[in-house]
Amino acid sequence: MPISVAATQTSATSPSTGRRRLKIALWAVMCAMTLSVVFYSEVPLLRQVRERAYLGTIPFLIIPHVLAGIVALLSGPLQFSSRLRRRNPRFHRVLGRSYVIAVFVAAPLAIVMSTHHHGPHDIHFIAANVVQAGTWMITTAAAFLTARNRHFQQHREWMVRSYAVTFTFVGTRVLQPIPAWNRHSEAGFAMEIIFITFMAVLVPDIALHWRELTTRRV
């Protein structure tokens, strides 16, 4: 009898341990990707005289956009901490509202900046930014509304989708240090933004419902 109990406990806890390790590995990879983008893409970009001169013409757009984007990028992971949610639900809610506000500040400003920096003939790039920012706001609004209506399982799923779209800032830049990645037109880069945004919604959806997709209900 003790052996069967121990076996039952082992079988019950091992999937949880595996998920925890997978979660830690995923956050570690995402952190490494973010640091790579900061040091190999964003910092060199700021060193360019032409780029600094352009950013100096739109401080009222770029500063709130960057600050709000940083808040969304850094506060998002804390939203997925079950321990924090259980121990301090009030802080979880405050952090969630901060995330939502940050998204609804950064996303519209991204659209405005795309129209400011590019002429009307660059409609493909503007359209890509509209798709990306629009998806970001829609998934975040869905996460907020499901939380407010106390559909917590759906809220967690929409929050995963929302943060995945948040992370497209990193996803569209992480391969820029590779020379071959930069050998495409601006239209090609716009298509990459749309594709990565699409995958940011599709891949988490498959992961969230992997069990239903791969096992038959008894």
DSSP 121-163: T-HHHHHHHHHHHHHHHHHHHHHHHHHHTT-HHHHHHHHHHHH
- The set of residues, in sequence order, having a beta carbon less than 8 Å from that of 117 and lying 6+ positions away, is 54
Question: For the ranges 80-94, 102-116, 166-180, which has the lowest average pLDDT?
Answer: 166-180
Full-model pTM = 0.82
Mean pLDDT across 43-57: 72
Higher pLDDT among residues 218 and 8, named by residue: 218
Higher pLDDT among residues 213 and 178, named by residue: 213
Higher pLDDT among residues 43 and 79, named by residue: 79
**152-166 helix and 59-79 helix, angle to the nearest 10 degrees:** 130
Tell me which residue range forms the domain holding 162: 32-214
Mean pLDDT across 152-169: 94
Instruction: Please tell me the predicted confidence (pLDDT) of residue 159.
Output: 95
Q: For residue 182, is it within any domain?
A: yes
Exposure string over 170-181, b if 16+ CB within 10 A, otherwise e: bbbbbebeeeee
The CA distances from residue 108 to 20, 43, 62, 131, 174, in Å, are: 35, 24, 12, 11, 23
DSSP state for residue 41 in the 8-state scheme:
I
Higher pLDDT among residues 127 and 117, named by residue: 127
Is residue 20 pLDDT above 70, yes or no? yes
Instruction: Please tell me the predicted confidence (pLDDT) of residue 120.
Output: 55
- Which range of 94-103, 124-133, 168-177, 208-217 scores highest in mean pLDDT? It is 94-103
CA contacts within 13 A on the Cβ side of 152: 6
Instruction: Please tell me the predicted confidence (pLDDT) of residue 149.
Output: 95
Is residue 183 pLDDT above 70, yes or no? yes
Q: For residue 151, is it within any domain?
A: yes
- The set of residues, in sequence order, having a beta carbon less than 8 Å from that of 165 and lying 6+ positions away, is 132, 135, 136, 139, 197, 200, 201
Q: For residue 17, is it within any domain?
A: no
Q: For residue 19, is it within any domain?
A: no
Q: For residue 58, is it within any domain?
A: yes
Mean pLDDT across 164-184: 83
Instruction: Please tell me the predicted confidence (pLDDT) of residue 69.
Output: 93
Q: How many domains does the chain have?
A: 1
Question: For the ranges 12-16, 27-31, 181-185, which has the lowest average pLDDT?
Answer: 12-16
Q: For residue 89, is it within any domain?
A: yes
Q: For residue 11, is it within any domain?
A: no
Q: Give me 43's structure tokens.
A: 């910092």
The C-alpha atoms of residue 188 and residue 43 are separated, in whole angstroms, by: 24
Collapsed DSSP state (helix, strand, coil) of residue 4:
helix
Q: For residue 179, is it within any domain?
A: yes
**123-148 helix and 186-208 helix, angle to the nearest 10 degrees:** 20
Is residue 66 pLDDT above 50, yes or no? yes
Is residue 53 pLDDT above 90, yes or no? no
Mean pLDDT across 152-168: 94
Q: Give me 173's structure tokens.
A: 């830049």
Instruction: Please tell me the predicted confidence (pLDDT) of residue 109.
Output: 94
Mean pLDDT across 160-174: 92
The C-alpha atoms of residue 188 and residue 170 are separated, in whole angstroms, by: 17
The C-alpha atoms of residue 50 and residue 185 are separated, in whole angstroms, by: 20
Is residue 76 pLDDT above 90, yes or no? no
